[in-house]
């Protein structure tokens, strides 16, 4: 067989289907990674250029893409039966929830997780941030936990706080719902980890740590921490996840924080999430101090910034 015939045989030989599938998947993955790094490089170049111009308004607009990814942020936990459990526990009234989110397509699309078990990971984005804060708020509120029974929330009237007295989406009185159901059963070691993380995590609407969840965002963060610890999410990832949640709940504050770190020559994606969530930067006082060190910058709407349903 001459050389020409050998080459012809190679190109006319059938390729197994499994090999074709692998080649397609690999090429798709490589292309996706290529797109990601090209976009990342483009954003970084924009950040460097605008930072040199010392124009905080332009810088904030670019950083918003990093702080609040358009495709959302995938959290480390899966839905499992959480939605159904919350309705069964009567901390969420399905009809009230449907009415609340009926006019918002992004939030309304999330209702499927309230009626069916799912192996999908939770995700937060600009369209569903209201749904996520309410759902995690309900989880933190109803799940029985020592931080609610024996911590700073414990008082003669636990309904005096925004995170308790402000809840109105249940089918039972909030007083009966508070720390009433063991939806997430933690070991002694897991409970200790929840407390350790919650003690070091803050939110820009007040100066209390998550271990004192007196507002809706604090209670939502507590609910997420409990669920993440139960599902075995690594501690470092939990901080990263809550930073993402906080960012979508308080976009203005975290775009400003990203601007601040960029001026300190630290890219937002390189910032230690635990540091960003610390009292120094994420408490109301800390966020205010960061803002004072910046010139006025526009980061967009502050949806979810208040402590209410």
172-218 pLDDT per residue, tens: 999 999 999 999 999 999 999 999 999 999 999 999 999 999 999 99
* Residue 179 pLDDT: 97
pTM: 0.80
Q: Cα angle at 239 between 48 and 266, to 5 degrees?
A: 20
* Residue 258 pLDDT: 96
* Residue 90 pLDDT: 98
The Cα–Cα gap between 253 and 206 comes to: 13
What tokens does 58 get?
């332009």
Q: In this structure, what are the phi and psi dihedrals at residue 124, rounded to the nearest 5 degrees?
A: -120, 140
The Cα–Cα gap between 139 and 113 comes to: 14
Q: Are 178 and 142 in contact (CB under 8 A)?
A: yes
Residue ranges in 54-128 assigned as alpha helix (H): 56-67, 82-88, 94-101, 105-108
113-141 pLDDT per residue, tens: 999 999 999 999 999 999 999 999 999 99
Conformation bin of residue 80: beta by default, left when phi > 0, alpha when psi is -120 to 50: left
């Amino acid at each position: 067989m001459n050389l020409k015939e050998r080459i012809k045989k190679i190109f006319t030989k059938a390729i197994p289907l499994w090999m074709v599938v692998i080649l397609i998947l690999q090429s798709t993955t490589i292309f996706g990674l290529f797109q990601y790094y090209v976009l990342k490089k483009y954003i970084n170049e924009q950040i460097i250029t605008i930072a040199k111009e010392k124009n905080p308004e332009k810088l904030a607009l670019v950083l918003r893409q990093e702080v609040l990814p358009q495709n959302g942020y995938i959290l480390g936990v899966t839905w499992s039966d959480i939605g159904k459990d919350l309705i069964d526990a009567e901390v969420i009234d399905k009809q009230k929830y449907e009415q609340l989110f009926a006019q918002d397509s992004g939030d309304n699309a999330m209702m499927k997780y309230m009626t069916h078990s799912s192996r999908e990971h939770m995700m937060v984005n600009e369209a569903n941030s209201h749904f996520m804060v309410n759902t995690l708020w309900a989880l933190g509120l109803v799940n029985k936990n020592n931080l609610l029974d024996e911590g700073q929330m414990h008082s003669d009237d636990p309904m005096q706080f925004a995170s308790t007295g402000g809840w109105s989406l249940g089918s039972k009185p909030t007083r009966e719902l508070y720390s009433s159901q063991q939806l997430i059963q933690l070991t002694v070691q897991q409970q200790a980890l929840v407390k350790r993380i919650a003690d070091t995590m803050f939110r820009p609407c007040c100066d209390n740590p998550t271990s004192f969840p007196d507002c809706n965002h604090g209670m939502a963060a507590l609910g997420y921490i409990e669920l993440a610890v139960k599902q075995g999410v690594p501690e470092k990832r939990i901080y990263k996840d809550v930073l993402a949640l906080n960012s979508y709940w308080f976009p203005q504050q975290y775009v400003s924080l990203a601007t601040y770190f960029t001026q300190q020559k630290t890219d937002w994606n390189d910032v230690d999430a635990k540091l960003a969530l610390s009292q120094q930067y994420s408490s109301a006082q800390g966020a205010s101090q960061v803002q004072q060190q910046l010139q006025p910058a526009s980061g967009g709407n502050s949806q979810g910034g208040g402590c209410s349903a």
